[in-house]
Amino acid sequence: MKVLVAVKHAVDHNLKPFVDATTGQVDLSQARRVINPFDEISIEEAVRLKERGLVTAIVAVSIGGADAKDSLRHAYAMGVDRALLVETDARLQPLSVAKLLKVIVEREQPGLVFLGKQAVGEDYGQTGQMLAALLGVGLGTFTSALQVKDGSVEVTREVDKGTQTISLQLPAVLTSDLRLNEPRFIKLPNLMMAKKKAIETLAASELGIDLANRFTVIKSNEPPQKPGAVQLASVSELVNTLRKAEVLQ
């Protein structure tokens, strides 16, 4: 069985982007970008399935500018077999990404498609659901465990009050949750070898997909500033402070 993993070259989650006060938009122009951590979890799961003999080939695909090759080389270092870049400099929304991925899925014919449950930065969490709908296949969101069986996959997924286990016929789309696994440490020799591996490149404009945006972000706001901590001298002062704040009567 072949597995396809969608990989986003996302804003580094360790950095704090800021909101431009003039435009009301998040300024990502100088933000460092790395592989989306939820997509890294997807790659790890695909590699583990291959190590167990359940998968024969893993294809990583990314959609974005030429710098997205850095994340694809990261995927190579983790153990994928092929890498594909659908190149575009446009800032795409989830539906456009899902449409482009649909073209690649139909071309590659994988048994399983992995995506992260969301991309850090925008946090839309929509692409996997849209892709499954466009393909007309089963969907397992927020996957925290899975077991591939003959012609199906059993998925344990996170829900509000615990977990839910479902069975999906293959092919299927899965979105990876944080608890699915912990990605392996990548050794330096693997990173060096990944730099020499080929990355197939397709122009998004040649795939015949309408990439027009469907919504507009009107404004973004920084979270409200929290009041600073106050050091109190005694328990009685603490009680009086809580009473003033109407926490205690």
Q: Which helix (H) or strand (E) holds 30?
A: none
- Helix, strand, or coil (residue 178): helix
Q: How far is Cα 91 from Cα 212, in angstroms, rounded to an integer?
A: 10
All residues at 6 or more sequence positions from 147 whose CB lies less than 8 Å from its CB, including other chains: 153, 154
Query: Could you tell me the pTM of the whole model?
Result: 0.86
The CATH fold of domain 2-244: Rossmann fold (3.40.50)
Tokens of 199: 């990355």
Would you give per-residue pLDDT tens digits along the chain (249 residues)? Answer: 999 999 999 988 777 777 777 777 777 766 788 999 999 999 999 999 999 999 999 999 999 999 999 999 999 999 999 999 999 999 899 999 999 999 999 999 999 999 999 998 788 999 999 999 999 999 999 999 999 998 999 999 999 889 999 999 999 999 999 999 999 999 999 999 999 999 999 999 999 999 999 998 888 877 787 777 778 889 989 888 888 878 887
Give the residue extent of every domain in the chain: 2-244
All residues at 6 or more sequence positions from 82 whose CB lies less than 8 Å from its CB, including other chains: 57, 58, 59, 60, 200
